[in-house]
Amino acid sequence: MMIRLPRVAVFCLALAAPVSAWCQSKGADGLPPGAVYRYINAQGNMVMTSMLTPEGVQVGYEVVDSQGRVIKTVPPAPSADELAEIREAREQARREAQQALRDAELMRMYAAPEDAERARDRQISALQLNIDYARGNITQTRTRLEQEISNAARIERSGRQVPENTALVIERYTRQITELETDITHYEQEITKVRESFEPIIERLRVISR
């Protein structure tokens, strides 16, 4: 049951008679016996009801006992913009909590930015050693290849048939050089990845270790 009266009239009526005139028993939503919801509607009138309406939730309401005493005050429901701000605040808090966990993990791994830089440089040095080793092998293999090619040319100039084994050796050396060049490209790509992966780590450590 809902009663809508002008605000002044309701105040006078509330002083003259107990609220239990509107609600004699406990409501389905858990109101204390004799209590009602009270709020000001869009027309500026006071509404007292035993059943909470969507309008009451939207504008905010009070729970009033049978003696007219306010036993609970609920603020207006947040607007769409306020809800968006609340969601953004919660999301921001979640992001900050996750960042704090990542920062703690970083500090366990590296005490300072310099530690991360040294770890990066060690990985790069190991990859650079592989590159240098591969380049050395290329130089040696290319020398052998040139010798085999020179021998094959000399045999052809003499009018003889180039041995099949010589052709196989030339093919093998050529394939080895190609494979070594592929390895070098791979190692260079790995160096780039190491630099890129450590860059945000080092930058973050500089921020949180200040």
pTM to 2 decimal places: 0.59
What sign results for the dihedral spanned by CA atoms 166, 169, 175, 180?
Answer: negative
pLDDT value at 46 more than 80? yes
Q: What is the pLDDT of residue 94?
A: 96
pLDDT value at 143 more than 70? yes
Q: 78-98, pLDDT tens digit by residue?
A: 888 988 999 999 999 999 999
Q: 59-76, pLDDT tens digit by residue?
A: 999 999 988 899 999 999
Q: 147-202, pLDDT tens digit by residue?
A: 999 998 998 888 888 888 988 999 999 999 999 999 999 999 999 999 999 999 99
Confidence at 14, pLDDT banded by 50, 70, 90 = very low
User: Average of pLDDT values for 87-111?
Assistant: 95
Residue ranges per structural domain of the chain: 2-74, 82-109, 111-208
Report DSSP letters for 8-59, one per residue: HHHHHHHHHS-GGGT--S--TT-PPTT-EEEEE-TTS-EEEESS--HHHHHH
- Integer Cα distance of 13 and 148 in angstroms: 116
Q: Are 21 and 33 in contact (CB under 8 A)?
A: no
Confidence at 30, pLDDT banded by 50, 70, 90 = low
Mean pLDDT, the chain, rounded, equals 86
User: Average of pLDDT values for 106-134?
Assistant: 96
Q: What is the pLDDT of residue 20?
A: 36
